[in-house]
Amino acid sequence: MSSRCQSALKGDLPALDKAIQEVPLYNVDQIAKMKADFFTLNATGKETIGNYLDRTAGPSGMFTIYNDTVERGSRAGIYYRSSRNPLGANSTNYLLLHEMMHWILDGSETFLAKHLGLNAIGDQPRDDELNSLYFNSGCLDPG
Ligand SMILES: [Zn+2]
């Protein structure tokens, strides 16, 4: 993590440290053909988890199911594809940091953007983009 991120997320570091130990990571490459409704109640019909990730994750190719208070009955965790976001790659680290922040805050894109002090507008795709710009630049406020 960049020193700018360490400083900006100082108050979140203890929770992030804990989350790194406990958040389930699902490599969707290995489970792509399983039915999505096994993992999330937001899936439709016969959709596989691979299709669900590709349909919903946006440009990052990752998503987080926070916990069962948000999506009751779903399997909480961070979902990614190792073929697209190999663990250990610098770009993956910032995507994971973004998802980990959702995990510890148990919150939406807008909630996260507000927490980071960014100019959130309450539009999920737009606020996701704002959060992504922030994390992918090593915690620079996109303004
Ligand atoms: Zn996000």
pLDDT digits (tens, 9 = 90+) for 48-103: 999 999 988 877 788 888 765 545 567 889 999 999 999 999 989 999 999 999 99
What does the buried/exposed string (b/e) look like for 11-40 if buried means 16 or more CB atoms within 10 Å of the residue's CB? ebeeebeebeeebeebebeebbeeebbebb
In this predicted model, which residue has the larger pLDDT, 126 or 45? 126
pLDDT at 21: 93
Q: How far is the CA of 99 from the centre of ligand 1 (A)?
A: 6
pLDDT at 66: 75
Say if 60 falls within a structural domain. Answer: yes
Q: Is 139 within 8 Å of 9 (Cβ atoms)?
A: yes
Say if 142 falls within a structural domain. Answer: no
| Other CB atoms within 10 A of residue 139 CB | 19
11-15, 90-94, 121-125 — which one is most confidently predicted on average? Answer: 11-15
How many domains are there within the chain? 1
Which phi and psi angles does 64 have, rounded to 5°? -120, 130
Say if 20 falls within a structural domain. Answer: yes
Say if 42 falls within a structural domain. Answer: yes
Residue range(s) defining the domain that contains residue 102: 3-106
Distance of CA 8 to the CA centre of its chain: 18
DSSP secondary structure of 56-103: HSGGGT-EEE--TTTSTTS--EEEE-TTTS-TT-HHHHHHHHHHHHHH
Say if 112 falls within a structural domain. Answer: no
Q: How far is the CA of 97 from the centre of ligand 1 (A)?
A: 10
Ion ligand 1: protein residues whose beta carbon lies under 5 Å: 109, 128, 131
Which phi and psi angles does 57 have, rounded to 5°? -75, -15
Q: How far is the CA of 79 from the centre of ligand 1 (A)?
A: 12
